[in-house]
A and B are shown apart, each in its own frame.
Chain A
Amino acid sequence: MALKDRRLVRFGLTALLAAFAFLASARQAAAYPQFQFSSGTNRCSQCHYSPSGGGLLTSWGRDESADTISLGGDGAFLHGLWAPPSWLGIGGDFRFAMLSNDVGNAQGTEFAAFPMQADLYLRAALGESWSINGTIGVRGIVRPDDGSIGGRIGAAANDVMSREHYVMWRPSATGPYFRVGRFFAPYGLRFVEHIYYVRRYTGNNLYEESYNASGGYVADDWEAHATFFAPTPKEGAIEFISGVGPAEYGFAGYGELRLAKMSALAAQVRVGVSPNDNEGRYQLGGIGKLWIEKAKILFLGEADLIHQTFSTANYSQNGFVSYAGLNFFPTRGVLAAVAYERYQENLSISTTARNAFDLQMNFFPWAHCEVVGLARYQIVGQGAIDGGSATLWMLQLHYYL
């Protein structure tokens, strides 16, 4: 490593440690677009069919999952026992979770064990450029009215849904693309963990996928995505394609510039108008990613300003949401992360803030398998003793098909 590189690493680590020491009074955890740069891949769509990442893995992504990320095994579909025809892609994500959550209840700490995710991904290529992509799954619910095994199984039939389904024109892995259908408009760091503030409070919370017309361009060193979105049908609609969140119409834009295969800067904008609630939400944000090869550390940061208007109430407010995380890859098969998050509903009122400290460990013992341990401590408002904090411990068992 050159002297300048060493200085940069030292400066980065010192700045980050200083920031954490300055901000932190407790601690807590994170999740994973963490493999960009750290696994040698430059862009998310190298490993995923989606041009903005997430969902079904490409054959490159499957190879990476076994050869780079896990301790061993075969990342191919069904561990390589059977290969689907080249025009067909099949995959899935299945998660089971156990948690304990202390929010200051007089009844004590809550314990729960539940199936968190069961999604099957399908992709059918139609010639060289077109494809049909879809996800079908069962909604995971932490606290169902009937939490017994029989109750959960009985409810599962009513909880089948499709979070994503779209038609895409994408003639090559890099270059222009266009897609129409339901998916998350490209925006933000796009973590797996939906509890992170930068997902939850930016229009990307669980099952908030919208209906979109989206296009963009993906190159090796940059990418740009533009999306017009409309809400999922809600009242009286088929639950199979319904969603949650405000019924917003709007636009999302995301542009990322990658530098020297070790860092990236991104700018993003999102405008959403909800006629039902006479609410407008205008977001402007930035993202920074920096991979320090020598230290095996990936820094991920996101910050968004949110301007909301409430026309019926004749009021508007400015909010802020951010994430800063350090992801450390001490050895193959292990990812350890610490993160700090902040969300403030109203920048004029300091007591509307939430702070979270995350500590997370991901272990990939074998291709297709992952164990996630997550600890999360939140301070709400001024963190009063009467329940202004929350402590979450979670263990996830994850299998991807």
Chain B
Amino acid sequence: MHNPEPMSPGRSATRFLGALGFAISLGALGILAQGCGSPDPENTVRPATWSFIYPAIIQPSCATASCHSDFTRRSGVNFGYSDEAYFQLTCRHFVLTCPPAGMPDPCNPSVMATTDPSCPGRALDESQLMHQLRADGAPRMPPDFALPDVDIDLIGKWIQNGAKQD
């Protein structure tokens, strides 16, 4: 390897700055790595709305280059845009939405929804997305590593609230 040039006369100052940078990096890491905040097991801190869940969780975790981005569309699923992702999740039945009976079906507006009154109670258990996120009888999604439980629970809360595009 090339030998570094000898240090300049002001090297004590530069050494100090180099060491300072080193220490700052470690310090920031050491302090912040211990985990700020509370566990929030009831998911009360963040909104269980699509306008948060999509840009904060779905887009960065699922719409990646090799998976459900606009140009890869693994298994024909595209989460590259908010509207498209919502359509794919709800109208391809990854998420059970339970539209009110007698109202136009959001996935087929020419047809009136005929939702079973028991549907809202079943929505969480029967949503394929939840089984995939938890690797519960289905291959895990995302396939490279699991989402944090608290994120999965937030998506579950959104589904329980009717999985609205809110």
Contact = CB atoms under 8 A, between A and B. Distances in A.
Using C-beta atoms within 8 Å of the partner chain, give the interface range for chain B. Answer: 35 or more
B69 interface: yes
B143 interface: yes
Contact of A349 (B39, B55, B71, B134): B39
B22 A352 contact: no
Nearest to A107: B139
Interface string B47-67: 101011011110110011111
A380 B135 CA distance: 14
Interface of B: 1-5, 7-8, 11-12, 14-15, 17-26, 28-30, 32-33, 35-41, 45-47, 49, 51-52, 54-57, 59-60, 63-67, 69-72, 74-75, 80-82, 134-135, 137, 139-140, 143-151
Contact of B149 (A5, A239, A244, A381): A381
A152 interface: no
A8 B20 CA distance: 11
B17 A315 contact: no
Nearest to A310: B52
Instruction: Report the interface size class on chain A.
Output: 35 or more
B145 A380 contact: yes
B4 A278 contact: no
Contacts of A264: 21
List the 10 closest A-B pairs by CB distance, nearest first: A40-B2, A263-B18, A301-B25, A381-B148, A288-B21, A312-B51, A288-B25, A313-B52, A390-B145, A259-B14
A276 B81 contact: yes
Interface stretch (A10-18, A79-87, A179-187): A10-18
Contacts of B60: 200-201
Interface stretch (A168-176, A317-325, A363-371): A317-325
A263 B52 contact: no
A290 B18 contact: yes
B45 A349 contact: yes
B148 A141 contact: no
Interface of A: 4-5, 8, 11-12, 15-16, 19, 22-23, 37-41, 68, 101, 103-107, 110, 139-145, 161, 195, 200-201, 205-207, 234-235, 239, 242, 244-246, 257, 259-265, 274, 276-279, 286-291, 293, 299, 301-303, 308, 310, 312-315, 317, 320, 322, 324, 329, 332, 340, 342, 344-355, 378, 380-382, 384, 386-388, 390, 392
18 contacts: A8-B19, A15-B22, A40-B3, A143-B66, A239-B71, A244-B70, A245-B63, A265-B17, A310-B47, A315-B46, A317-B46, A348-B37, A349-B40, A350-B38, A351-B41, A352-B148, A387-B135, A388-B148
Given A110-B143, A342-B32, A103 B150 contact: no
Given A244-B69, A342-B32, A234 B81 contact: yes
A16 B26 contact: yes
A170 to B, nearest CB: 24
A390 B4 contact: no
A106 B135 contact: yes
B19 A11 contact: yes
B39 A288 contact: no
Contact of A322 (B14, B28, B146): B28
Contacts of B82: 276-277
Given A342-B29, A352-B150, 11 more contacts: A19-B26, A103-B146, A141-B72, A257-B17, A278-B55, A286-B28, A299-B22, A317-B56, A324-B29, A353-B35, A387-B146
